[in-house]
Amino acid sequence: MLSNLNGINTSNIYGVKPAKAKASAGVSASYAQSPAALPSFMSYNTVNVAKTTLSSQAEVKKYSEISANLDTNGKKALDYLLKTGLLLNNKSNDKSSTLDNLHKIVTNKRADGLDAKTMLNDTVKTIANPAIITQHFGNIPDNIKGILKEYDPATQEVPHSGCCVAASIEFNLASQMPAEFARVAEGLSSEKMSCNKTIDLKNLCDNKDDAKWLLDNFKIPYQMKEDNKAEVTIAPDKNAIFRAHIQTIDRDELERSPLDVLMQSTFMNVGSQQTYNTLNDVRVASFGPGDRGLVEIEKTFTESIVTEANKTAVTFQDVQEAKDAEGNSVAKLVGYKADANTVKRSLLYSMAQGQNVIIGYTAVDNDGTVIGGHEITVVGAKTTADGKLVFVCNDTDDDSPELVEYHEDYLIPRIHHVGLPTEVVEADNKLKSIA
């Protein structure tokens, strides 16, 4: 984990844009599940699509009631979910299916300020194409701004979001665990505005006491269960409902959906020890510097809680504190802790185990001074004519509802840290030595 370097691994790099960035709200994008149904690259992250037919009257009834509350694009997306098996997938914490949870969204009351049809449409479309997820905050309308300022004087516009980690975790949940994504969406938008889930403590730490220490220090409400399991409660910060309501009634192109607001606020809250404030995108720093975004230990913890996977943070760049010409503290890239082949191997082996990889990368100037950082998700790879790799990635800050591609020569030197499956790290002596 970095220290005293101004949180370089959490701030967006606004001057570095991917190759295919283009303006689109994403609501009418072609519904291609990312990445399972895209044949143009090597994708390891398939979802079990065995069941594609409604087999009972109860399922038919739920489908009909969901469809009746969807707009034209929502209906197309729902049909896509059924035909690809995503709708009847039940890889959720309580074994409920995507269909079950979508039905709850439209039949059970939503929290005050939210609209059930909007939440349903957003959830269906996001599962159909997770690349529409964005971290872009919307503006606060003038007629609401004064009210929020009086309620919380810290309220401010957020032109540049620090939610890249949270949005990337949201993408992973939607693309790899559609039923759980729908279940979390239902819980966070319900009247209780929270979601309970049972986790295996070994996904946090091998030692039970260490795992409980993490839960305690991250201030996660939990109850111990049998077999080294715990039931945890995740929830957005208390101010998230205001942003979610604004996005329900006043969402513009390229802005977050109310669903994005609730998901990202929740994951920011989990990682920031329950100190996040959606009204200004600020948190209280405990494990690292800065008051925006999440640092590596917070990112890894949040990933482990949300996706129920045992993750280990590995840092590849050697970044040291230095002084610039004016005597100010800066972060300097002075070298690497692993060669390019090790980095590539870590990404490929992780995807071979069915897991996307969230990476933190840096941008540096000609002197090696770090000028920014961002988090994106690697979801696949393909080999080019010259035998090198092109990595297929999702970027929640690129204004595009599509995946983007980065050649290995561009991406690999920029990767500062990654969250890898622990078993991948344990099986590689080089990774173990720098984790």
- Provide the residue-wise pLDDT of the chain in tens; the chain has 435 residues: 222 223 333 233 222 333 332 222 222 333 333 333 333 344 444 555 569 999 999 999 999 999 999 999 999 999 999 999 999 999 999 999 999 999 999 999 999 999 999 999 999 999 999 999 999 999 999 999 999 999 999 999 999 999 999 999 999 999 999 999 999 999 999 999 999 999 999 999 889 999 999 999 999 999 999 999 999 999 999 999 999 999 999 999 999 999 999 999 999 999 999 999 999 999 997 777 778 899 888 999 999 999 999 999 999 999 999 998 888 889 999 999 999 999 999 999 999 999 999 999 999 999 999 999 999 999 999 998 889 999 999 999 999 899 999 999 999 999 999 999 999 999 999 999 998
Same domain, 281 and 346: no
Residue type, 133: I
CA-to-CA dists, residue 228 to 136, 174, 198, 219, angstroms: 38, 27, 10, 19
Find the domain containing 388 and state its range.
311-434
Same domain, 337 and 278: no
Same domain, 334 and 252: no
* Residues 6 or more apart in contact with residue 172 via CB below 8 angstroms: 303, 306, 307, 356, 358, 377
Same domain, 403 and 267: no
CATH for 393? 3.90.70
Same domain, 263 and 340: no
Handedness of CA 19, 315, 302, 279 (dihedral sign): negative
Rounded to the nearest 10 degrees, what angle do helices 116-128 and 178-189 cross at? 160
Same domain, 252 and 370: no
Six-digit token string for 261:
């607001």
Task: Say if pTM beats, i.e. exceeds, 0.75.
Answer: yes
What's the total number of domains in the chain?
2
Same domain, 132 and 47: yes
End-to-end CA, the chain: 10
Same domain, 257 and 352: no
Same domain, 79 and 116: yes
Q: In the chain, count H helices and then E strands.
A: 15, 12
210 in a structural domain: no
147 in a structural domain: yes
46 in a structural domain: yes
Pair 336, 316: CB distance under 8 Å: yes
Same domain, 125 and 258: yes
